[in-house]
A and B are shown apart, each in its own frame.
Chain A
Amino acid sequence: GENVEQHPSTLSVQEGDSAVIKCTYSDSASNYFPWYKQELGKRPQLIIDIRSNVGEKKDQRIAVTLNKTAKHFSLHITETQPEDSAVYFCAASIGTGNQFYFGTGTSLTVIP
């Protein structure tokens, strides 16, 4: 089955700096890559996703890039703010109706 690896496990940045979280996957059939944010004590929520026919997607301060050849995708957060502090999970899926494979999570701390 699919194997998703996520790095780093913890990340601290100064407010206003950028943060980058990287994931790799093993199954070339995976074609959907969502990112979830989980604030302390809350449920994971989708923040951005990308499909395999697109190389990059942006939503305000958040962007995701995908390199299908290398089988890796990354989350980029610019101009970080304290409210960005949370655990971020990447995931990969072959498609609708199939299971999702999650990375182990990155705990991001933004220092004011």
Chain B
Amino acid sequence: DVKVTQSSRYLVKRTGEKVFLECVQDMDHENMFWYRQDPGLGLRLIYFSYDVKMKEKGDIPEGYSVSREKKERFSLILESASTNQTSMYLCASLDFPTDTQYFGPGTRLTVL
């Protein structure tokens, strides 16, 4: 059974702080994704990675960066958090060859 975990379910940070969100998967998947979910906007892709140290920008990468030093771990970094980054953040990993995405439980981030 695929397991995708995220470091925090709820996080409250202040404007300007550096924020780290971590995602870990235990199925040796190569592809991993970071999305943010906002009401009425669906899931929007921030970044994805198809291999260790490889990353690709998604649709809304501004204000975010990522790190993939190990295959099982994909981190999302908010260099200087702003209030408009208050959102639900979902991580996912992709199973090949079924193309099924397995999501983590999400981190609800509030930036004050």
Interface size class, chain A: 20 to 34
CB of A89 within 8 A of CB of B48, answer no
Type the 1/0 row for A22-64, where 1 means its CB is closer than 8 Å to any CB of B.
Answer: 0000000000101010000011111001000000000000000
Q: Which residues of A contact B64 (CB under 8 A)?
A: none
Interface string of B37-64 (1 = CB under 8 A from A): 0001111110010100000101100000
Residue of A nearest to B100 (CB): A46
| A96 touching B99, Cβ below 8 Å | yes
When chains A and B are docked, how far (Å) is the Cα of A1 from the Cα of B50? Answer: 19
Q: A43-B104, A105-B42 are in contact. Are A96 and B58 (CB under 8 A)?
A: no
Residue interface mask B1-44, A partner, CB < 8 A = 1: 00000000000000000000000000000110101000011111
A9 and B58 in contact (CB under 8 A), knowing A43-B106, A96-B99, A99-B33? Answer: no
Q: How far is the CB of B14 from chain A (nearest CB, A)?
A: 26
In the docked arrangement, what's the CA distance between A52 and B32, Å? Answer: 24
A102 at the interface (CB under 8 A from B): yes
Contacts A97-B31, A104-B42 given; indicate if A43 touches B103 (C-beta within 8 A): yes
